[in-house]
Structure 1
Amino acid sequence: MTKNYLAGAALSALLFATPTLAQSAPVDQAELVALLKAQAEEIAALRARLDKIETGHAAAPAASAPQQQAAAPRQTTRASDDAVANSFAPQLAAADLADQSVAQARALQNVSNVTTEWRGGLPIFRSADGKFLFKMRGRMINHVSTTFGSDYDARNITTTGARALRIGIEGAVGPHFFYQFENDFADNTSDVGTMFVGWRDDIGSLSYDVRFGNMFNDRSFEGSGGSDAPPFLERNVVATSIIPQRGFYGIALMPRLFWKTGHASVTLSGDAVDASQPINDSRTILARAHWNPFKTARSLVHLGIWGFDEELSSRGTGALTRNTVIGGRFNGNLRVQTGTLTGGTGTTGYGAEVGGYAGPFWVMGEAGKRVARLNAGRPDFETTAWSVSTGFFITGDLPPYNPRLGTFAQPRVLRPVFDGGPGAIELLARYESIEFSGIPNATEGTAATLGANWYLDSIIRFQLNLIHWNTDNRAGSFTGKDSGQTVSAGFGITF
C-alpha cells in the first residue's frame, strides 16, 4: 500500500506539472521523453528505498513493540506531569516555568515527541529532546471606577485605566536553568518588569532556586503576588505602604529555599531598572518566610513573617513622599497623602501574616510597620497598616492559594463557562487601615470593601468592588476628614 501511495504521489506531481508545461512555450518531444524517463527513474529509486526499509522491518518484527512502548511513556508522562501539578496545588492552574520545582521541570522534559502543548491559554514550545522550553506570557487587566459622596467635587469622578498590559516570555534549558522577561505598557508607558535568570536544584527533601535580575519583591501576603493575584481589584494597604522606597521591583540576587510545608527567601537588591547610573543605588535587604503547619487536600493554615532594611542613596534626594491608594487605584485625587517629605536616609519595615482556608471559605489577615529615618535629627516617619479579608466560593471551588510561595495565584476553575459550567463565583469582604505618623502632616485612612469575582475559567475574570472609604489628610488639595463611596469593576486575562 505504501508503494502505491508513493507512486501515486509522484504521478500526481507529474499530472499537476503537466498543465504548467502545456501553458508554457511548446516543449520538444525529446525533452518530454527525457522528463518522463527522469520521473520513472526517481519512482524506481523510491521503490527500491522503500523495499529496503520494509525488508528491514520484516526481519525485525519485534520493532513494533518498542514503538508501542515509546508511545506508552508519553501518556504516562503526561499523567505524571498532571499528578505533579496536582500535588503541587490541586486548585491552581499550571505554575509558571520559573516557579516550578525540579520534579515538575523534569516531568515536562520527559514528554517525548510533543513539541507544542497548550497550557494556561498559551502554547508551550518544547524541543523534541525536551531540553528547551519556551512560552509567551501576557496579562491584560482593565478597570473602571466611579466615586461619589465626597465633600470635594474633584474627587467625585469616573475614570478608566489599564491596571496591567504586559507581554513577556519565559523558558528553561534542562530542569535547572530558567529565565523570564516581561514588559508593561500600562498608562501608555513602557516599563521593564520581571527580568531574571535562575538556577534550581534539590538537596535531599529540600529544593532551592537562585535568581538574578529585576525581580518582584517577596514581601507580605498580597505584596508577593502579581497584579492578577489578589482577589480584590487593588492590593491592601499593607502591600502598598509597608514597602521599600524603591517600590515593588529591584535588580537583585534572590535565593529561595523550599520545603514540604513552606519556603524562605532572602533578597539583596539595588534600585529597579533605570537610567540613573551617575548616582549610587539604594541598598535593600529583604527576607520572607511562610509556613503551613496544617495542610490537607481541602484545608490549610498559613503563617508568615517578613522584613526589610533599606539604605537610601547618599547622593539621591531622600524623597519619602507617599500617596497611598485607599479607595481604588484609578482616582488620582483619592489618596492618603503625606505631602512633600525629603531628607530620608533609610527605611526599615516588617510584618506578619496569618490565615488559611477550609473548603471554599478563606480568611487572611496581615499587618506591618515601616519606619523611615530622617536626617538633621528629625523624628522618624512611621507608617502602620493592617488588613483583614475573607472570601467564599459559592460554586464550591477552592481558594487559589499557592502553597509553594505562600500567596494567592490563578485559580483552577472546576467547571469553566467554556465547558458548559457556571465558572467560579466568589464573594469577598475586606477592612483595612493605614496611618502616617511622626511628621507634621500626619494622616490616616480606612476602607471597607465588598466584592464579587466571576472566573469564567482559570485565565479570564470579571471583578466588582464596592468601597466605603475615609481619609483625614493634613496636606495636599483634599485636607480634613472626608468620606465617600467608590464602585470599581475590572476585566482581566492572564496567560
Structure 2
Amino acid sequence: MRTGCALAALVFATPALAQTATPADLADLVRAQAAEIAALKARLDKLEAGTTLAAAQPAPAPIVVAQGNGQPPIIITPPYAPQLVPPGPAERNVARVQEATDNLAGLTTEWGAGLPVFHSADGEFTYKPRGRIITDVSATRGSRYRGRNLTTTGMRALRFGLEGGVGTHFFYQFESDFSENEVDVVTAFMGWRNTIGAMDYDVRIGHLFNDRSFEGSTGSDSTPFLERTVVATAIIPQRAFYGLGVMPRLFWKSGHASLTLTGDRIDGNQAVSDSRTVLGRAHWNPIKNDDTVLHLGAWGFDESLSSAARTLTRSTVIGGRFNGALRVATGPILGGTGTTGYGVEIGGYRGPVWVMGEAGRRNARLDNGRPDFVTHAWSVSGGWFVTGDLPPYNPRLGSFGQPKVLKSIFEGGPGAIELTARYERLDHDGIATAGDGWAGTIGLNWYLNSFIRTQFNVIQWNTDGRTGDYLGKDDGQTVSARVSVTF
C-alpha cells in the first residue's frame, strides 16, 4: 500500500515538476517511477503465481549475510539439493527459517510434499502434520525348507506425527508408529539451531533416530530398496535404531558431523541403569556441483550394556522383512557386556546414475573372558533414473531423502522411474552357532510424484544356517512389492 501511494504521488506530481525541473531531474524521476513499477510488477507476479515455498519451486540460491566491520560476508548454503523436496520445520537451518518468514507475503501456509506447513501471521510459529503409510507384500520360493516358502503382507510403517518451530531457533518433532497394531513412539525430540561463523548447527534432545551409515541414516520412506542393507541392520547398537539422549550436529558447505549420547529406547524400566551408547558420524562431499557428487563417510559407536540387556541374540533380514523364517541367525548369545562398531561409506552420483558402497564391523564383548563375537557386513548398490531425474541425495545429511519429481503423473508426466541393483554380504565370527548369508537384488522404483511411490524387488538370497530349524546351506528367491505415501 505504501508503494502504491508513493507511485500515485509521483504520477500526480509530474506535471508540476515538469514546469520547473531540469532535464536531469526529469530523468531521475522517470527512473524512480520505473523502479517502483518494476517492484509492483514483481510483487504482483509473485502473488498471482501463489509463490510460497512449495516443492515445485527451485531451491534458493546461497544466502549472503553481511558481517560489517570490514569482515567478509557469510555464505549459507540452503540445506537441501534442487532435486529434493524442501525440508519441514524441524530440518531447516536458520537461514531457511528466516527465508520462510521473509517470504510469507501475507500467506499463512506453504505446500510441500502432500501436507501444508502452517505459519502464524507474524511467522513466529510454524507447524506441519506428518504421516507415513508403507504397505508391503512378498512371496518366497525355491527354499529347500517348506517353512520358508511363504507369501506374506505387512505394514512397514504406519506413522502419524507433527513437527514445528517457535521463532528462528527452537524446533520439535514427534511421531508414533502403529504398524504392529501397537503404539510405538519413534521420533520425539526438541531442538535448538543457530550459526557459528560460516557454519550452522543444531542440538536435539529426546528420542533420536541414529545417524549411522548411509542407509542407516536414511528414513524407511526414502530407502532405494524395500529393506536397508545388512551394514545398516547388522552393524548396529543392541538398542537398534533409536535411543533417548542428545545429539549435536554441525553443518558446513561440503559435509556434516554429529555426535550422539543416548541411553535405551523409550521404555518403562527404571529398576536398573540404562545402557549407554556414544555414536559419531561425519560425511564429506569433496566434489559437489549441479549434477555430480562424491560422498565419503565414516562412523562408529561404543555401547556399554546394562544388566537388563545382556542378551545379544540377533536375526538379520536377508531376503525380505516380512518372512520371519528367512533370517541370518546367531543362535542364543548370553552374557554380553558391550558392543563397538564402525564403518565407512563411499559413493556418489553423476547425472541420473548413483553408486554407494558400505562396509562395517561390530565387536560384541562377552563376559568371563570369552573372545568377542564379531560381525562383518558390506554392500554395493546403485541406481539409474531412466527419466533423467537426479538421485534424491541430501548433501546436508549425507543420506537419501524425498525426491522432487520433475514430471509428476498428476501433471501429465511419467513420474520418475529408477532401476536399482545391490549385492550384500553378512558374516559372523566367534560364535559357533552364528550363520552367514548374502543376497543380490534388482529393483524398480516408480515415483508417481514427490511423495507417492511404488517399489518392486527381486532378491536372490543364500544362507548358511548353524542353529534353529533351517540348518546348512539354503537359497531361493523372494519377490517383494511396496506402495508408500509420505507426507
**What TM bracket, shorter-length normalisation?**
0.7 to 0.9
Give 1:124-273 correspondences, 5 Å limit: 124-273=117-266
- For residue 312 of structure 2, what is the aligned residue in structure 1? 320
Quick check: which has more Rg, 1 or 2? Answer: 1
Residue aligning to 2:71: none
1:352 equivalent in alignment to 2:344? yes
State the distance in 2 between where 1:291 and 1:183 align: 32
* 1:133-185 Cα deviation digits (max 9, x unpaired): 00100000000000000010010010000000000000011121100000000
Question: C-alpha deviations, 1:14-56, integer Å up to 9, x for none?
Answer: xxxxxxxxxxxxxxxxxxxxxxxxxxxxxxxxxxxxxxxxxxx
Give the TM-score, by structure 2 length.
Answer: 0.86
Distance 1:59 1:190, change over 3 A: closer
Please tell me whether residue 278 in structure 1 is matched to residue 278 in structure 2.
no
CA root-mean-square deviation:
2.3
- Where does structure 1 lack aligned partners over 5 or more consecutive residues? 1-56
* Structure-2 change in CA distance of 1:366 and 1:174 (3 Å): same
Closer, same or farther: CA 58–296 of 1 in aligned 2, 3 Å: closer
Counterpart-to-counterpart distance in 2, 1:60 and 1:355: 56
**Counterpart amino acid of residue 430 in structure 1:** R
Q: Is the 8 A contact 2:52 2:111 kept in 1?
A: no
Which stretch of the first structure deviates more once superposed, 264-273 or 89-98? Answer: 89-98
Residue of structure 1 in register with 2:402 after alignment:
410
Report if the CA contact (8 A) 1:452-1:463 is conserved. Answer: yes
Partner of 1:474: 466
1:374 paired residue number: 366
Contact 2:53 2:100 in 1 (8 A): no
SS for the counterpart of 1:188 is: coil
2:193·2:201 contact (CA, 8 Å) conserved in 1? yes
Q: Larger deviation: 242-251 or 115-124?
A: 115-124
**What's the counterpart of residue 465 of structure 1?**
457
Shift of the alpha carbon at 1:317?
Answer: 4.1
CA distance in 2, matches of 1:458, 1:489: 19
Distance 1:235 1:221 in 2: 10
Cα offset for 1:84? 4.7
Residue number among 478, 489, 492 corresponding to 2:481 in the alignment: 489
Mind listing any 5+ residue stretches in structure 2 that lack a counterpart?
12-35, 62-77
Distance 1:73 1:104, change over 3 A: farther
CA contact (8 A) 1:84 1:103 kept: no
The normalised TM-score by structure 1 is 0.85
Query: 1:105 Cα deviation (Å)?
Result: 0.8
Q: Is the 8 A contact 2:53 2:112 kept in 1?
A: no
* Cα shift at 1:117: 2.2
Give the structure 2 partner of residue 18 of structure 1.
Answer: none
Paired residues of 1:85 and 1:104 also in contact (CA < 8 A): no
In 2, Cα distance between equivalents of 1:405 and 1:74: 34
Question: Among 43, 46, 68, which residue is 1:72 paired with?
Answer: 43
Relative to structure 1, the CA distance from residue 75 to residue 435 in structure 2 (aligned partners, 3 Å threshold; closer, same or farther) is: same
Question: Residues 437-452 of structure 1: matches in 2 within 5 Å?
Answer: 437-452=429-444
**Is contact 1:201–1:208 with CA below 8 Å preserved after alignment?**
yes
Cα gap change, 1:414 to 1:83, in 2 (>3 Å): closer
**Kept after mapping to 2: 8 A contact 1:80/1:107:** no
Q: Which moved more, 1:143-152 or 1:470-479?
A: 470-479
- Please give the alpha-carbon distance, in whole angstroms, between the structure 2 residues aligned to 1:80 and 1:327: 40
Q: CA deviation at 1:83?
A: 5.3
User: How many angstroms does 1:277 deviate by?
Assistant: 1.1
Matched letter for residue 72 of structure 1:
R
2:331–2:434 CA contact under 8 A, matched in 1: no
Work out the percentage of aligned pairs sharing the same amino acid: 60
For 1:232, what is the secondary structure of its paired residue?
coil
Partner of 1:336: 328
Tell me the SS of whatever aligns to 1:75. Answer: helix
Q: Which amino acid aligns with 2:81?
A: A
Alignment check: 8 A CA contact 1:391 1:427 kept: yes
Q: Residue 94 in 1 paired to residue 65 in 2?
A: no
Tell which deviates more after alignment, 435-444 or 124-133.
435-444
Q: Which residue of 2 aligns with 1:14?
A: none
Does residue 432 of structure 1 match 2:448?
no
**CA gap 1:171/1:151 in 2 versus in 1, 3 angstroms:** same
**What is aligned with 2:66?**
none
Q: Does residue 361 of the first structure (1) align with residue 353 of the second (2)?
A: yes
SS at match of 1:238: helix
**Residue 96 of structure 1: CA displacement?**
2.4
SS at match of 1:105: helix
Give the deviation of 1:59 after TM superposition: 13
Post-superposition CA distance 1:68-111 (Å, at most 9, x none): 86993993995889555575301101112211111111111121
The aligned runs of 1:22-61 (5 Å cut-off) are none
Counterpart-to-counterpart distance in 2, 1:392 and 1:443: 33
Give, in angstroms, the shift of residue 254 of structure 1.
0.3
Residue of structure 2 equivalent to 1:301? 294
Deviation at 1:286, TM superposition (A): 0.2
Higher share of residues assigned helix: 1
Partners of 2:187 and 2:207 within 8 A in 1:
yes
Q: State how far apart, in whole Å, the 2-side matches of 1:108 and 1:465 are.
A: 39
- Contact 1:109 1:174 survives alignment (8 Å): no
For the residue of structure 1 that corresponds to 2:331, the secondary structure is coil
Which amino acid is 2:122 matched to?
A: D
Q: Secondary structure at the match of 2:180?
A: helix
**Deviation, structure 1 residue 453:** 0.3
Secondary structure of 2:216 counterpart: helix
Number of residue pairs matched by the alignment: 437
Amino acid at match of 2:160: I
